Structure 1
Amino acid sequence: MKKSPKSFFLPKHLVKKIQKINKHAAGRGRPQEVLKEKEEGRSTPHQVISFYTWCRSSVILPSMIGHTFAVYNGQKHIPVYIREQMVGHKLGEFSPTRYFRGHKKTDRKAVRKKNKI
């Protein structure tokens, strides 16, 4: 079975939470005004509210803009603030699971290859 290009994954419980928060925020102003307030440094309820999720494969929708998600990376929840540029990507792209610590200073394989030549 082929997936259509418009299909995406988003768990129902996450959709319900986002809708609930957006309805609550609708009384205070449009989302664009809330974002402007954030940029100016005024505290808004959206800064405090965060969603804890283990679903890294969830697609970011326009209704999520301005919210903070705590995405699980296998060890801990990493806060991810959703911006306009992130729409269409997945939550897991913004919470890395592996950290590169640099190359090893003495690599035995490289030294052996060098000596054979």
Structure 2
Amino acid sequence: MTRSSKKGVFINKKLYKKIGFENLKVWCRSSTIIPDMIGTNIMIHNGKKFLKVYIIEDMVGCKLGEFSFTRNFKSHSKKIKSKKNVKK
């Protein structure tokens, strides 16, 4: 469910005060990207480490959490020929 338009966008108060700084570390993934953030590098926490994200115009209106993935996909296992099946 989306946020009501009469409330406006959500942005953490501490994050809003620190917008001008470079390499800002952010734990609040639910904050919305606003136009004042364009051109800055933000370090977004994904639960394990910080991922560096450069903010561009196309990202305005999206949430910070959309750009720091929390899960790593490892491909489905492929059947590898074992040494037993290989005849010498």
Q: TM-score, normalised to structure 2's length?
A: 0.79
* Matched residue SS, 2:53: strand
Matched, 1:100 2:63: no
The one-letter amino acid paired with 1:4 is S
Verify the 8 A CA contact 2:25 2:44 in the aligned structure 1.
yes
Separation in 2, partners of 1:103, 1:84: 36
Separation in 2, partners of 1:10, 1:3: 12
Identity of counterpart residues, as a percentage?
A: 51
Q: Which runs of 5+ in 1 are unaligned?
A: 22-45, 107-117
Q: TM-score, normalised to structure 1's length?
A: 0.60
The one-letter amino acid paired with 1:5 is S
- Name the counterpart of 1:5: 5
Q: Indicate how the Cα distance of structure 1 residues 3 and 71 shifts in structure 2: closer, same or farther if over 3 A, else same.
A: closer
- Give 4+ residue runs of structure 1 displaced > 6 Å after superposition: none
More helix by share: 1
